[in-house]
Chains A and B, each alone.
Chain A
Amino acid sequence: MRLPPGSLPWLVWQDLRVTIRTFGFGKNRLWALGLYALFIVLLHGGAGMVLWTMFKIRKPMPVDKLLELSGVLLLSLEFFMLMAALLATFRLILAGRELTLHLTSPLPFRRIMAMRVLSLVAGTWAISILLVTPVANMGALLGRPVFLLAYPVTVMMAALTVAIALALMTLTVRLFGLVRARRVLQLLQAGVPLLFVLGSLVGREDAETAQAADPLALSGAGLGNWAGLLRLPALALTGDAEALLILLLLAGLSLIAAARFAAPVVLLAVQSPEQATPKAQATGASLHFDTRLFRVLMLKEWRTILRDARLAIALAAQPLLIVAFFYGNLFRGEYRLAAAVAATTFFAAQLSQYVSNLMISAEESPALLGSAPQPRSLLIACKCVAALAPVLAMMLLAAIWAAVQDPWTGLVCLVCGFGAGFCACAIEVARPYPVTRRSFVQVASAKRNRDPLDILSVLAMQFGWAGAAWFLAIGSLWGAAIVLLVVLVPFFEWWRDANRQALLGY
């Protein structure tokens, strides 16, 4: 079927095609596709096993309990969706250049805006694919077709989320003007993961008392306290026709209304992009330079990350959400300290990997560093210290906190946190992935040339250190065995190097 050029479906397809193509598979296309297929099959297998066990062993869950469980899952998903929607909406007014080509065409603005809003919904919904697809498909295969309702429900949630993001953007621009809206939106985005963490922690003590009375009490999971917020989609998931209809109406109408009010704001931003960029003020009357190499490199690295809203938010959000999930859902019972140490170790590995990748591989001006009279090894060493220093400082604080409660766990936290940080950085040094900052923001582009085996190495290192921390914290020697294995990962990557360092350009 050929879509009529210029029509809304055609525009949406063109937009989505560009996005889909950022998910490149590099040179080893077949190998990569095979691995991804295997990953999806494994996910389906895992979901199938969990569901089969639930269906077999458990008695039918009371409706209230089911709603609460669905609510917690949907709420977790909603946070990720909201992050994605805010980020994409944010780009809509700050990177308006993306729409320049469309706006110079004879197409009506309303259609262009509709295209972008539908793309936003698709992009936001895509966040949930890995979580929703295996559960929905396997649930249906195991004789519960109602599980397929996860697809429409999450699509409607994505539409609602985009409507919220658009409304927030419109309100912010109307209240603060285009220039200040940038800062306010940054704060809003940073606030989402913070809200998630707080939501996970508030009311914990009451929840633990409730849990003692009823071991299945989800309120002990922190987020269970707020699951009621998403009662409507949770109800829709159970097949309630009335809830489905209301959700559909709510999502559709709110999206149309939000897009209607956001359109003039987007048009304003696109037509005057310079207004959306804050201008810096002049500094003092004379210059004051301190040109020590490590100082200038450290400042350069952190300034270029923290001043870039998208990088800073990604930096804050990614590990925070992971940690929030661990703390919110596993931080209870006799193993709660072990879970906290494992989560903190995972956080150290994830953060170090992200920052090292940014600083070492996504160097903005490799030609400047390459032409400077400094050995590359020294520059990379300075970058490693710049990347690791804040992570290790945080790990030290976490270790002290753990040691106050249990000295052995504190030691485990220190060793595993530092080990994970060093390992993540060492992998980046051994086998860097040169990317531009621009493509780094679009995570898919940053990973397009990655060998799937490299991704597996990083995941093995992250989960390996977290697992080691868990086992060591509960006193199992399996942890020591895992440590011996994961410290080999950077050497493995170094062995596979294939002169990738030369690709850094400096």
Chain B
Amino acid sequence: MTAALQLRGVARTFDGKQAVDGLDMRIERGEFYALLGANGAGKTTTLRMIAGLLQPDSGSIEVLGHDLVKQPIAAKQRLAFLPDEPLLYGKLRCTEYLEFVAGLWGVDGRVAEKKGEELLRWLDLWDARGNYCENLSRGMQQKLTLAGALIHDPALLILDEPLTGLDVAAARRVKDFLSQLVRDGLTVLFTTHILEVAERMASRIGLIRSGRLIAEGTLDELRARYGADDSTLEELFLSATGPETSA
């Protein structure tokens, strides 16, 4: 079976600075994969390349068996991307936003209506559905972006700092929601600075430094490689990436 995501020797430079340097990564279907690294390690650049927003200078990216450069439309069809800043239009109402996103992904109107209502109710946004996006709180905006990302029923969800700005209850709800989606077969690749979230939710963790994957595996595999059995992810992270860095 083809992998959900396969990166081979992906590299990208900005003004001579190597942001991603020959990155190899494979994520199987149904995995919950956390990509961790210090600020400037190349996480966001990697995610933006996978989402098709940046072209890699070299290497290849395959999404569910489709080459992102050669077959961008087919690759993006089953992919959803949530950057750290919500992808919203301030002057659209929540329902108009969902309708717009469904239109972009070519989802049939009736299917989108049903899915939209389900998502809005599940994410506690139903009562706010007539509000302009700009009037929602940061947490609600994040949840609405998530609803937009899921309206076309993606197979691979890419999340950059998905819990930024969420309060405790909303964060818990989103975490439960994502776990449920992974149990239903969705593949999730996410970055976070909250290592406790990665520790509890991820089935596999990748550590990135200077645009290269320096370690990868389950939490137990990383413990075996870098520390004692009772090490926290934070200790493992610092051990792997150096004491000066932060998640």
Contact = CB atoms under 8 A, between A and B. Distances in A.
Interface in B121-141: 127-132, 134-135
Nearest to A281: B130
Contacts of B135: 277, 279-280
Q: How large is the interface on A (under 10, 10 to 19, 20 to 34, 35 or more residues)?
A: 35 or more
A307 B76 contact: no
Q: How large is the interface on B (under 10, 10 to 19, 20 to 34, 35 or more residues)?
A: 35 or more
Interface of B: 48, 51-53, 72-77, 79-81, 83, 87-93, 95-96, 98-110, 112-113, 116-117, 127-132, 134-135, 148
- With most chain B CB atoms within 10 A of its CB, the pick from A288, A299, A370 is A370
A282 B105 contact: no
Contact of B130 (A282, A295, A296, A364): A282
Contact of A371 (B53, B88, B95, B108): B53
B130 A283 contact: yes
Nearest to A379: B104
Given A364-B90, A374-B73, A505-B53, A291 B106 contact: yes
Contact of A291 (B89, B109, B134): B109
Contacts, number: 121
A304 B92 contact: yes
Instruction: State the majority secondary structure of interface residues on B.
Output: helix
By Cβ-Cβ distance, the 7 closest A-B pairs, closest first, are: A296-B103, A373-B76, A307-B91, A372-B104, A291-B103, A368-B87, A282-B130
A180 B222 CA distance: 59
A372 B148 CA distance: 11
A369 B99 CA distance: 14
Contact of A283 (B93, B104, B113): B93
A286 B113 contact: yes
Contacts of A292: 103
Interface string A367-399: 111111111000000000000000000000000
Contact of B51 (A289, A300, A308, A371): A371
Instruction: State the majority secondary structure of interface residues on A.
Output: loop
A372 B87 contact: no
29 contacts: A277-B134, A280-B131, A286-B113, A287-B95, A287-B116, A287-B117, A288-B109, A288-B113, A289-B99, A292-B103, A296-B100, A296-B104, A297-B100, A300-B89, A300-B92, A300-B96, A300-B100, A304-B90, A364-B88, A365-B88, A367-B83, A369-B104, A370-B52, A370-B53, A371-B53, A371-B76, A371-B80, A372-B104, A373-B75
A498 to B, nearest CB: 16
A370 to B, nearest CB: 4
A290 interface: yes
Contact of B81 (A279, A287, A371): A371
Nearest to B103: A296
Given A282-B127, A371-B79, A291 B92 contact: no
Nearest to A274: B135
